[in-house]
Amino acid sequence: MEVRNKKVFVAGLGLSGIALCKVLIDLKAHVIAYDEKDYAFLKDNIAEIESLPIEFKFGKFKRDTLKGVDLVVISPGVPVDSELVKEAQTLGIEVLGEVEFAYRFSKGPIYAITGTNGKTTTTSLLGEIFKNAGKNVYVAGNIGYPLIYVTTTATEKDAIVAEISSFQLETVKEFRPKISCIINITPDHLNRHKTFENYRDVKGRIFENQGENEYTVLNYDDEVVLSLAKKAKCKVFPFSKKKILEEGAYVKDGSIYISFEGSLEKIIDVEDIYIPGEHNLENALAASSMAYIAGIDANTIAHTLKTFKGVEHRIEFVDEIEGIKFYNDSKGTNPDASIKAIQALKTPIILIAGGYDKGSEFDEFVKAFGEKVKKLILIGQTAKKIRDTAVKHSYLESNIIFANTLEEAVKKAYENAMRGDSVLLSPACASWDMFKNFEERGKVFKKAVAELRR
């Protein structure tokens, strides 16, 4: 894709937007960088690109901002129905999402993973399998390292493992992975996608450009994912924890097997997988399937599953203080993710939850408490909504505590915990009401736990 001397408008100055600006300057484009937030709010974000020859614009979008622009590239945080995008379309200016733009520079094969939960773990795990197989691998996308950095660097011999979000899939046009995967689909981001059906269909776009010689790996235990299979023009490779499959990855007698192109091979005993929990078995099946189709041998896959320790902010053990264990699951940004975290712990739980309201309902989340969640400590925008849902489902109001900050929540959790309990941060909500992102939230939690130890 040729952008030299073209006027490119970059909308959104988060991680992706900053990366786009840097790469576009390297490619000799004329860059206009825009964000609806004020300069004062963004100055730390843009410090690394302020010295570059970029024209910056902040605040409310003005229609004349797009005068003379050849191309608009939007970050995932910019909705496709925004005034900016509509105006660009009216003027006949091409609008590309950040992932679509990055794809057009790609020489290396892309192994793309989406799903409501487990994307980051599965992406990191697949990257580790490729690395252990001796491949030069780049892990990028929604995982925190923008795809544009990778696609302008990777060669045909390299592997690009990409976590792709629904926000990124909204704007794909030609994006075509070598192998794609949908781990699961449960309600999320309904404030952006409006309906669950829209959200489901956006997730299905990950394989829409794949051809008959390419594969999509789909969870056959998830009815919503299964409903998308008929739309695939590529080959469908299923995985299941519950069913034995003629072709696919499955669990039988406590072991993972893969049946592919007429051969059947045992990969690993489930009890030998290092990261615990049913949700991680799902992630292991997904990553193993993609690796096996890509030609990685079973021994390398098994070795990685035995040694891979998971990712930061996902049911991450932080510390044990006076017999009380602390777990950071800040990546639990929707009810289903947090349900999985509650199910993964075997001890009584003091749960810290609440955050930015994405339009989720919390009934199933509260039902998952059972006898396990002894105390519920609530923070953020959704605190009252979760409290009301909990009380509706007969959770004792006397076991619900409000806190103004995460630090205060950690102190109150510690005060209410006993030896043998676990304090779990698993908010079931996004972080944007109180933090820049879930990473910052997780780090604040870990710092607060460290303060307790002091």
**pLDDT digit string, tens, across residues 144-190:** 899 999 999 999 999 999 999 999 999 999 999 999 999 999 988 87
134: its two tokens? 């001796």
Same domain, 87 and 121: no
Residue 299: inside a domain: yes
Same domain, 296 and 404: no
Confirm whether residue 153 is marked as ligand binding: no
Same domain, 365 and 418: yes
Among candidate residues 272, 307, 342, the one where a domain is terminated: 307
Residue 294: inside a domain: yes
Q: How far is CA 398 from CA 152, 191, 375, 391, in A?
A: 56, 31, 9, 10
Q: What is the CATH number of the domain that holds 292?
A: 3.40.1190.10
Residue 71: inside a domain: yes
Among candidate residues 248, 273, 307, the one where a domain is terminated: 307
Q: Which domain holds residue 280?
A: 106-307
Predicted confidence at residue 56, as pLDDT, reads: 97
Distance CA 161, CA 24 (A): 22
Among candidate residues 74, 97, 120, the one where a domain is terminated: 97
Distance CA 342, CA 351 (A): 9
Predicted confidence at residue 277, as pLDDT, reads: 83
Same domain, 143 and 76: no
Distance CA 9, CA 33 (A): 6
Confirm whether residue 77 is marked as ligand binding: no
Task: For 157-193, give the DSSP string.
Answer: TSEEEEE--HHHHTT-SS---SEEEE----S--HHHH
Same domain, 81 and 219: no
CB atoms within 10 A of CB 172: 20
CA atoms within 13 A on the CB side of 103: 23
Residue 200: inside a domain: yes
Predicted confidence at residue 194, as pLDDT, reads: 84
Which pTM value belongs to this model? 0.83
Q: How far is CA 343 from CA 10, 186, 232, 237, 281, in A?
A: 42, 17, 33, 28, 13
Predicted confidence at residue 70, as pLDDT, reads: 98
Q: What is the CATH number of the domain that holds 412?
A: 3.90.190.20
Residue 2: inside a domain: no
Residue 144: inside a domain: yes
Same domain, 89 and 192: no
Same domain, 293 and 324: no
Same domain, 205 and 329: no
Q: Are 355 and 433 in contact (CB under 8 A)?
A: yes
Same domain, 181 and 273: yes
Count of domains in the chain? 3
Same domain, 90 and 164: no
Crossing angle of helices 278-293 and 298-307, rounded to 10°: 150
Q: What is the mean pLDDT of the chain?
A: 96
**pLDDT digit string, tens, across residues 201-247:** 999 999 999 999 999 999 999 999 999 999 999 999 999 999 999 99
Residue 1: inside a domain: no
Q: What is the CATH number of the domain that holds 27?
A: 3.40.50.720
Confirm whether residue 404 is marked as ligand binding: no
Longest dimension (CA), the chain: 66
Residue with tokens 């299905």: 204
Confirm whether residue 354 is marked as ligand binding: no
> How would you classify residue 357: left for phi > 0, otherwise alpha for psi between -120 and 50, otherwise beta?
beta
Q: Are 316 and 145 in contact (CB under 8 A)?
A: no
Residue 158: inside a domain: yes
Same domain, 157 and 272: yes
Kind and range of the H or E run holding 291: helix 278-293
The set of residues, in sequence order, having a beta carbon less than 8 Å from that of 418 and lying 6+ positions away, is 323, 324, 348
The set of residues, in sequence order, having a beta carbon less than 8 Å from that of 2 and lying 6+ positions away, is none
Q: How far is CA 174 from CA 67, 106, 150, 233, in A?
A: 27, 12, 18, 14
Identify the segments of the chain with pLDDT beneath 70: none
Predicted confidence at residue 377, as pLDDT, reads: 98
Confirm whether residue 142 is marked as ligand binding: no
Predicted confidence at residue 1, as pLDDT, reads: 84
The set of residues, in sequence order, having a beta carbon less than 8 Å from that of 7 and lying 6+ positions away, is 29, 30, 32, 68, 69, 70, 71
Confirm whether residue 118 is marked as ligand binding: yes
Confirm whether residue 123 is marked as ligand binding: no
Same domain, 93 and 111: no
**pLDDT digit string, tens, across residues 11-34:** 999 999 999 999 999 999 999 999
